[in-house]
Amino acid sequence: MKGDRTLLILGIVLLALVLAGPVLPQWAMFLATIAIAKGLVALGLLLQLRAGLVSFGQALYYCIGAYTAGTLGRYFGISDMLLQMICGAAVAAFIAFILGFLLARYRGIFYGLLSLALSMILYGLLVKSEALGSTDGINILPSTVFGVRPDQASVRYVVLVAGCAVAFLATLLVNRYLTTPLGQLAAAIKDNEIRVEYMGASVREAIHVKYVIAAALSGIGGALAATTVGHIDPDMAYWTTSGEFLFITILAGTGSVVAPFLGAAIFGIIHTVAYDLSPNTWQMTLGIALLLVIVFLPEGLWSLFNRRKAA
């Protein structure tokens, strides 16, 4: 089964990361963890994209997840990493559940821009909130895992392992979801909604569910990013952040649930290399690199691997 194969690949790559961890340089572990966090958000985007919905405001839930993790640590003394991620997902999912009633009515560019508007409203609220540090943001206190606070030397590795584990679990669940009837409706909705309705399925319900799942994934990603970077600020809800996630998703292609993580990793590398090699023109470097990928690999990077398999 195709699904099992891709999951196997992801499992192996993540396992390799976990095993190689102790010998990998710290900055590489950092980049990998961030890639996983962004990959989770991109996975949420993929879910929506398969149904033909483009969200320009996914950063909303990324930010909610991050701020949940941060405030839990700072004000409620809950510093357990996994608990923070779960709470981040829960809060994001809850808010998505409510907003989903509004958003599920829209399609196309309106869906995109309404999601953008909501994300920017959160940005505005956070900037105004001096208690939450306004644009300076707040630092996250170091996290613990099952009550143990990892020391300086091993904290990168611990966070990486936690990230890998959570990512694998989340991807597994998403993959299962995609094999259910509601999950498979995505392609049908993208094609022709009216036919779906005539078939007896509820388009709105399907979209609402996808929206909530995507939000939960983004919430986890946000919490993971918050723990890794150690800092949260309103920028996480800004539209350029959403743009970055969208970029990663399109770059990777929607071919497989594994693709977003690959896209996030490649994007992270291109971004860093651009800063390194051309600090004065990194935007152009990024733009050209992305343009090349889009022109030569229109189905995203994942199509590179798909082609081989098809043969």
DSSP H helical ranges for 192-281: 193-199, 203-229, 239-252, 259-277
Question: How many residues of this chain bind another protein (CB under 8 A)?
Answer: 83
Minimum distance of another protein from residue 133's CB (angstroms): 7
- Site pattern 32..71 for another protein (x: CB under 8 A): --x--------------x----x-----------------
Does 127 interact with another protein (rule: CB under 8 A)?
A: yes
Closest Cα partner for 4 from 179, 253, 186? 179
Residues 138-197 that bind another protein (CB under 8 A): 138-139, 152, 155, 192, 194-195
Q: Which of 24, 82, 145, 201 binds another protein (CB under 8 A)?
A: 24
Report the alpha-carbon distance of residue 43 to residue 50 in Å, rounded. 11
Minimum distance of another protein from residue 200's CB (angstroms): 17
Residues 66-85 that bind another protein (CB under 8 A): none
Does 236 interact with another protein (rule: CB under 8 A)?
A: yes
Helix axes 239-252, 282-296, angle to 10 degrees: 40
Does 306 interact with another protein (rule: CB under 8 A)?
A: no
Does 2 interact with another protein (rule: CB under 8 A)?
A: no
Contact residues for 212 (Cβ-Cβ < 8 A; gap 6+): 93, 96, 97, 100
How many Å separate Cα 25 from the centre of its chain? Answer: 24
Instruction: Read off the DSSP letter of residue 153.
Output: T
Which residue matches tokens 């388009």?
203
Residues 204-223 that bind another protein (CB under 8 A): none
Closest Cα partner for 227 from 93, 124, 45, 74? 74
Minimum distance of another protein from residue 129's CB (angstroms): 10
Looking at beta carbons only, is 90 or 231 nearer to another protein? 231
Does 121 interact with another protein (rule: CB under 8 A)?
A: yes
Q: Which of 255, 282, 303, 306 binds another protein (CB under 8 A)?
A: 282
Instruction: Read off the DSSP letter of residue 144.
Output: B
Looking at beta carbons only, is 180 or 288 nearer to another protein? 288
Minimum distance of another protein from residue 298's CB (angstroms): 6
Element (DSSP H or E) covering residue 232: strand 231-232
